[in-house]
Amino acid sequence: MKIMKKNWPLIILIISTLAVGFALIAEHFFNILPCKMCLYQRYPYYFIIFICLIYVFIKKLPQLFFYWITEFTFFIGLFYATWHVGIEKKILPGLSGCTNTIQKSDTLAALKKQIINQNIVSCDEITWTIAGFSAATLNSLLLVLLLLLNTIFIINNQNDKEKI
């Protein structure tokens, strides 16, 4: 556990990069288009990658601050992921614009072209699964694990400071 705690920022950086990488590969190489909620679920990972890069390479952030900012970001990511799972299961309402939008057009021909070329991905449709789990469900599970481990490291860090 000490090795994991010591390398936690690097581990988070790798996991976050892999999560975003898998999503981008699915989107660009397998043409699995993301819905609006899928895109929202990526934003916390982008932020985590940015914070981890600052922490690992610039080393200007205090360790406890790093843990708390990642904790908060994991929580936000988990919020979006579980909301998306709820939308998929039709338990929770989706966003008002949870499909691609059509831009205002000046001509009927331009509007028709937009409609024909529009890829509409609804947030309540599961477009792909791994072992029977949707991407949103897998993301929720990953974020629960990351949040749990990060919380343990925060508690350990606090206990280490109290011993001093």
For the domain that residue 60 is a member of, what is the CATH number? Answer: 1.20.1550
Please return the burial class of 12, using the count of CB atoms within 10 Å of its CB with bins 0-12, 13-18 and 19+. buried
Q: Which domain holds residue 85?
A: 2-163
CB atoms within 10 A of CB 16: 26
Task: Write the CB contacts of 94 (distance below 8 Å, at least 6 apart in sequence).
Answer: 37, 87, 122, 123, 124
| pLDDT averaged over every residue in the chain | 86
Give the total number of structural domains in the chain: 1
pTM of the model: 0.81
Supply the angle between the helices 135-163 and 63-88 in degrees, to the nearest 10: 150
Banded model confidence at residue 124, pLDDT cuts 50, 70, 90: confident
Rounded average pLDDT over 107-132 = 76
Q: What is the pLDDT of residues 27-40, one digit of tens each?
A: 999 988 888 899 99
User: Residue 122 pLDDT > 80, yes or no?
Assistant: no
Amino acid 117: pLDDT:
63
Q: Read off φ and ψ for residue 91, nearest 5 degrees.
A: -95, -35
